[in-house]
Chain A
Amino acid sequence: MNRLLTILAVASALTAGCGGGAPEQESGEEQAAPAPVAAGGELTDFQLEHGIGPVTEPVQLGEPDEELAAAGEQIFNLKCMACHRLEDRYIGPPLGDVLDRRTPTYVMNMMLNPTGMTERHPDAKAVLAEYLAPMPNQDLTVEEARSVLEYLRLAATKVDVEQ
């Protein structure tokens, strides 16, 4: 329990903007001076394509689901809209066309694990470098994230995103 709380506390501190994760030291080589160490370590091909987080199987979108999208819209307005708009860049990037750029699984992992993603995933790190504001964890369940994904998917057909 203590360890879990410690991890959560560390995660929380990081979200508050206190710096990157602990670098892993490379071993086995003799060095005159320490080499630069990248945060995060190696990612799998799945993680590179679909992101790092609780969703570890590719999401199958299936038939469009208006009801699910409506539930997702409510959550988006409550928890996401403070930083994201569909058509324009705001605190973070516009999301109306996010599925043109990312896989559905990547989008869900970004919603569910923003701290881990911005620490370890090269694409998420690049977005953070551009926008500068780290994405906060908004405590979504996997089901809630799926509904927000459906909202973004259906909204994409209705908006004209400015880049």
Chain B
Amino acid sequence: MSFRRNAILGLVTVAAIGIGIFACQTTGRSTDLVSARDAAAAVYVPPGEYDEFYAFMSGGFSGNLTVMGLPSGRLLKTVPVFSQFPENGWGYNEETKAMLQTSYGFAAWDDSHHPELSMTDGVPDGRWIFINANNTPRIARIDLTEFETKEILEIPNSAGNHGSPFITPNSEYIVATTRFSVPVPNRDMPISEYASNFKGMLSFVRANDPGNMDVAFQIIVPGYNYDLAHAGKGPSHGWMFFTSYNAEEAHTLLEVNASKRDKDFIAAVDWRRAEECVAQGSARSMPARYVHNYKGEDRIARSEMRESVTVLEPATCERLVYFLPTPKSPHGVDVDPTGEFIVAGGKLATVIPVHSFSKMIAAIEEQKFEGEVDGIPVLQYDAIIAGEVPDPGLGPLHTEFDGRGFAYTTAFISSEIVKWSLETFQVVDRIPVYYSVGHLMIPGGDSRQPWGKYLVALNKMTKDRYLPTGPELAHSAQLIDISGDKMRLLLDFPTMGEPHYAQAIPAELILEKQLRLYRLSENRNPFATMGEGAAKVTREGRRVHVQMTAIRSHFAPDNIEGVEVGDTVYFHVTNLEQDWDVPHGFATLGMETAELLIMPGDTRTLTWVPKQPGIYPFYCTDFCSALHQEMQGYIRISPRGSGVPLAWGTGGRLTTQAAN
């Protein structure tokens, strides 16, 4: 959820009473469609054809990322990121477990909110997509040749990594913010000491060197709630804008206590100035423990603990941060394709304020300040505002752009999307959405060059949109055609978890570099079995390593004896296939973990400690061939100390090794 659940419930109640959305259950079924036949034709992708766009939908509270095709809304893949995923063993098997390591221990779940594509020259380039973990602050990099999470960096001195991982135009940095201010360094103290001791932190992470993600520097800021961010572009390249709320510094009942002031702040950060201050020695190194996880060339995840971080304070680095007063608890902050306009979504505001970057620079030069907080100048609102969009709907949250001079803003409470002109700041079209829209997404819609054909509304409430499935419903996205003057609703489609935010990119930018298999000759796993003749079972004390191969349609070995109760058995399964789309799976009776799903040429390892003597079958779990059902084996588990010799084989010839 983009902000507090109880606040949403309150707002929804207001909406239900004031607008009666729950009563209008048939609205939008057909009346808003120009014609059902036109809409169907617009989203129809014939069998065997491809969608125009890859859409990357955050999994929200699923902790993962889902890949869908647009305009069809077809689900293509779930990429596991921050949550264990038994479907393919992510976070369970030996090759991926370390990806979920944090300084707090192994984290089986998180809440992933904002996918962000890597950029070159301010345009998504399809190399990687990043996504944030909200609960235990982290940022992940997903490689888009394999659609696999390759790297996860924890963010120290942070809590509630919501405003993340927004990226600079050449992928120089991705940012992370503290939605919850906490003591820095975090330590035991009375919560009532919030105002004097709790701090916000704006983190800049180096993003463009795979394997070497690191926190370049952090900026300590007042103890507000830092919510969202976007980078400047064009003339504003070099700046990053962060929204904040709770300038009241409330630490209880924020629903009321953080909504008292007329204005909160957007923090404008000159990150090139930060680089100067770090280079000049104005930063300090602070002890901090945070984990970096990386899957290297051997495709085995490893964790390393980092011990310090570089911290800047605005008071010792002048001209680093400025506060832009912005009405009523702003949520989204979005920069238009030209880089001139900084649009804020004040969730309790009655207008959409649009700040001007050029006016901001002039105001800084002319020192048009109305005050200062912790060494941060507060600019005069009237000196920086370009315009206010009137009548934007209730609860404006997020804005994206079509590249043709129009902006599209979601209104959560009135459940609609408004289209407005960046020239006149007037609303020119509006369309209801079902229900309670949070983010919206236009492919490339936060970049310098949007592909402004479709808009996806990412709705928080589903209610009656699909066949009901008990109390828990799939969340809902809606596809809207924005190619003409009037927005046209084309399609509803359900999503996995919460589709909190999404990004999309033309398919051709990703399609042609897809990896289809891993070359066996390049397999660097130390337990890879390079050919069936190399399959073997070895014992090291109480550990038993089974180096097994899989090919249509048998395992080698498929008969194993000499393993005892209490041994730790490692099944290292190498898929010998060298053809596209021939994974094999592996599971054994009574295991307490998830299956392995092994792609062609790869090796994955399942760990099992048998507790009872007996014969345990194992089998291939992914339908691989006409003889898939024959793809099975047995492992014999003998009582502890029984002295059964280790033996293994396939096809009747067992290799035996005397028990030790």
Contact = CB atoms under 8 A, between A and B. Distances in A.
B517 A78 contact: no
Interface in A110-163: 132-134, 136-139
B551 A83 contact: yes
Chain A interface helix/strand/loop/mixed: loop
Contacts of A31: none
A1 B579 contact: no
B582 interface: yes
A90 B512 CA distance: 38
A79 B50 CA distance: 33
Contacts of A78: 520-521, 530-531, 576
B626 interface: yes
Contact of B579 (A77, A81, A132, A139): A139
A16 B625 contact: yes
B533 A1 contact: no
B531 A12 contact: no
B532 interface: yes
Interface stretch (B60-68, B229-237, B552-560): B552-560
A49 B517 CA distance: 33
B581 interface: yes
Interface string B539-553: 000000000010111
A91 interface: yes
A6 interface: yes
A16 B578 contact: no
B49 interface: yes
Nearest to B535: A82
A15 interface: yes
B581 A133 contact: no
Interface in A1-32: 1-2, 5-6, 8-9, 12-13, 15-17
B481 interface: no
B520 to A, nearest CB: 6
B651 interface: yes
B533 A77 contact: yes
A12 B578 contact: no
A79 B578 contact: yes
B581 A12 contact: yes
A82 B576 contact: yes
Contacts of A2: 49-50
Interface residues of A, number: 26
A11 B459 CA distance: 40
A77 to B, nearest CB: 4
A1 B510 CA distance: 13
A79 B576 contact: yes
Contact of A79 (B520, B534, B580): B520
Interface in B3-31: none
A82 B531 contact: yes
B511 interface: yes
Contacts of B519: 139
B579 A136 contact: yes
A37 B581 CA distance: 29
A139 B578 contact: yes
A17 B579 contact: no
A17 B625 contact: yes
Contact of B512 (A1, A9, A81): A1
A40 B610 CA distance: 51
Nearest to B623: A16
Contacts of A79: 520, 531, 576, 578
Contact of A17 (B517, B554, B576, B626): B626
A17 B512 CA distance: 26
Nearest to B577: A136
A101 B141 CA distance: 53
A82 B549 contact: yes
B580 A8 contact: yes
Given A1-B512, A2-B49, A77 B531 contact: yes
Interface in B557-589: 576-582
Contacts of A6: 48
B70 to A, nearest CB: 16
A44 B498 CA distance: 58
B256 interface: no
Contact of B582 (A8, A81, A90, A136): A136
Contacts of A82: 531-532, 549, 551, 554, 556, 576
B627 interface: yes
Interface of B: 48-50, 511-512, 517, 519-521, 530-534, 549, 551-554, 556, 576-582, 623-628, 651
Interface of A: 1-2, 5-6, 8-9, 12-13, 15-17, 77-79, 81-83, 90-91, 132-134, 136-139
15 contacts: A1-B512, A2-B50, A6-B48, A16-B581, A17-B626, A78-B520, A78-B530, A78-B576, A82-B531, A90-B651, A91-B554, A133-B552, A134-B626, A136-B579, A137-B579
Give the top 7 A-B pairs by smallest Cβ distance, nearest first.
Answer: A139-B578, A17-B626, A82-B532, A77-B531, A78-B531, A82-B551, A17-B625
Given A17-B628, A132-B626, A134-B552, 16 more contacts: A2-B50, A16-B623, A16-B625, A81-B532, A82-B531, A82-B551, A82-B554, A82-B576, A90-B651, A91-B554, A132-B627, A133-B625, A136-B578, A136-B582, A137-B578, A138-B578
